[in-house]
Amino acid sequence: MKYLLMIYENEKAAETLSEADVQRVMGEYGTFEQAIRQSGHFISGEELEPTAAATTVRIRDGKRLTTDGPFAETREQLGGFFLVEARDLDEAIGIASRIPSARSGSIEVRPVREFTLPQD
């Protein structure tokens, strides 16, 4: 089953890290990703640009409305994700607990709903 592991952290706190700390964390992410690639769990993963680069889109009364930035003000922001293949939720949680940002932020583990579109 596929699971999306969404990585939430406080962007402001991350901006205060020293260059040495950034390099250390990036090294930890490299080690983590290599391990889940070798184990066959990795499907995809990306780091996101900061929320200042986000645009929120809504359709109201048939009109498109856009807002700069994220929709909600929160203490933690979505900073990236991994899409993984796991046997079950327990295995997905085990993988998520190894993500370096789990120590300073939070990882939301969500099953991917798989469905097939009807054929014509």
Helices marked H in the chain: 11-15, 19-38, 89-96
- Partner residues linked to 83 by β-bridges: 4, 44
- The pTM for the full model equals 0.89
pLDDT tens digits, one per residue of 96-119: 999 999 999 999 999 999 888 888
User: Domains of the chain: which residue ranges?
Assistant: 2-111
The neighbour count for residue 86, using CB atoms within 10 Å, is 20
Each residue's pLDDT expressed in tens, for the chain with a length of 120 residues: 999 999 999 988 888 999 999 999 999 999 999 999 999 999 999 999 998 899 989 999 999 999 987 666 678 899 999 999 999 999 999 999 999 999 999 999 999 998 888 887
| pLDDT confidence of residue 26 | 95
